[in-house]
């Protein structure tokens, strides 16, 4: 009898699925660079099905990638690294020039308009479970802004 109860409990627990946030990434792009430039920005839109956060970014195109925000400090806009970017459930979070963005530091090579660059994003859901997603970001002209839809 005890064996049947344990088996039933194991089957029940095995059938419970843990929900996790799925993140949709759209319009990923990187600002092109000029010769000798060692840093640039990466931009995209992120939409999560559940509360989550962007917690890390990596790319072979740069030695370091940091999540940044722009903040007003005594009347001056300043860039600041942040540990994570909250992604509220069902809301699109814009990463664009002048706001949230990814800084690519110590570039491995110049970023030329038209090429694509692999970028790996790491997300954490509300329960702390992490997932990674690789996207291909298109390099746009140095003076490019976001695409207008």
Question: Which residue, chain included where needed, has tokens 């109860």?
Answer: 5
Q: Which of 76, 80, 123, 74 is closest to 99 using CA atoms?
A: 80
For the chain, 149 residues long, give each residue's pLDDT as a single digit of tens.
555 443 444 444 443 334 568 999 999 999 999 999 999 999 999 999 999 999 999 999 999 999 999 888 898 989 999 999 999 999 999 999 999 999 999 999 999 999 999 999 999 999 999 999 999 999 999 887 655 43
Burial of 141 (0-12, 13-18, 19+ CB in 10 A): exposed
Q: Is 143 helix (H, G, I), strand (E, B) or coil?
A: coil
Q: Which domain holds residue 135?
A: 17-140
CATH number at residue 39: 2.60.40.1890
pTM assigned to the model: 0.82
Specify the number of domains making up the chain: 1
In a domain, 6, yes or no: no
């Amino acid at each position: 009898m005890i064996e049947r109860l344990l088996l039933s409990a194991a089957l029940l627990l095995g059938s419970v699925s843990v929900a996790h946030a799925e993140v949709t990434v759209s319009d990923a792009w990187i600002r092109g660079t000029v010769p000798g430039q060692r840093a640039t920005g990466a931009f995209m839109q992120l939409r999560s099905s559940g509360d989550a956060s962007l917690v890390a970014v990596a790319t072979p195109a740069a030695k370091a990638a940091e999540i940044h925000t722009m903040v007003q400090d005594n009347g001056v806009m300043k860039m600041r690294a942040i540990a994570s970017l909250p992604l509220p459930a069902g809301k699109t979070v814009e990463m664009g020039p002048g706001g949230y963005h990814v800084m690519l530091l110590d570039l491995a090579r110049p970023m030329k308009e038209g090429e694509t660059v692999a970028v790996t994003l790491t997300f954490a859901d509300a329960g702390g479970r992490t997932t990674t997603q690789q996207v291909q970001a298109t390099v746009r002209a140095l003076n490019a802004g976001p695409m207008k839809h």
